[in-house]
Amino acid sequence: MKLSEKILYYRKKAGLSQEELAGRVGVSRQAVSKWELGDAAPEVDKLRALAREFGITVDELLSEEAPREPEQAPPPRHSPTAGWLGRMVGRWGWLAGVYIALSGLGVALVGGLARFAFSRMFRMVSAGWGAMDPFGSGGWELVLPDGTVTSGGMSGISSMGQAFVTIATVILAVGLAITLAGAVLAVVLYRKGRKNR
C-alpha cells in the first residue's frame, strides 16, 4: 500500500476531514490533498506528526504492508440448551413466583394454626373477679389434649405461653410476606414474558 493511500485510509479511519488533519499537522488543506493524491510527499517532521495523529508509528505509515485491522473477537456462541432454557424461563418463569407464593401460604397457614392452638391452650383465667379483675391477679390454665385443665399462676406458664404465641405470630407474618413476594414476582415475570413474545 502506497503512502498516499495510507494517509487517506488513516485520515478516514480517524474521522477527520482534510482541513482538520491539516490544522492538526500544521499544513494547508491543499498539502493534505496532494499527499493523498500522491502528487507530493510529506516532510520528515510532518510524517512524525501524521503518525502521532493516527496513533501509529512512522514505520507503519511508511511500510508497504496494508494496515492491520484489529482482530474482532468472534461472537459468543450460544449453546442450544441455553437458548431453550432462556425461552422456557421467559415463558414459564412466572410459575416460580406462584410456587413461592403457595409455599408462603403454607408457612402462613402453619403459623396461623399454631397461633390459634397456643392461644387456646394458654388462655388466661381470672381468679375470683372474673374478666373484670382490676389487679391482674389471674393465672393461666393449660388445656391438655385429653380435656383436663391445669391451672397455674402468672409465672412460668404465662411467659411460656406468650413465647409460643409470639413465635407462631412471627411464623404467620413471615409466611404472609413470602406469599406477597411470590405473588408480585409471578405477576412481574408473567407480564415480562408476555411482552417478550
Q: pLDDT tens digit string along 43-82? A: 989 999 998 998 898 888 888 888 776 555 555 555 555 6
For 29-52, what is each residue's pLDDT tens digit?
A: 999 999 999 899 999 899 999 989
Quick count: other Cβ atoms within 10 Å of Cβ 81? 8
Binned at pLDDT 50, 70 and 90, residue 117 comes out as confident
- Is CATH 1.10.260.40 the right assignment for the domain spanning 3-62? yes
The DSSP element (H or E) to which 67 belongs, if any, is: none
- pTM equals 0.44
Give me 11's grid cell. Answer: 485520515
How far from 20 is each of 5, 47, 54, 191, CA to CA, in Å? Answer: 18, 16, 13, 52
Question: What average pLDDT is seen over the chain?
Answer: 79
Number of continuous H segments (helices) and E segments (strands) in the chain: 8, 3
The CA distance from 39 to 133, in Å, is 114
Backbone angles phi, psi at 124, to 5 degrees: -85, 135
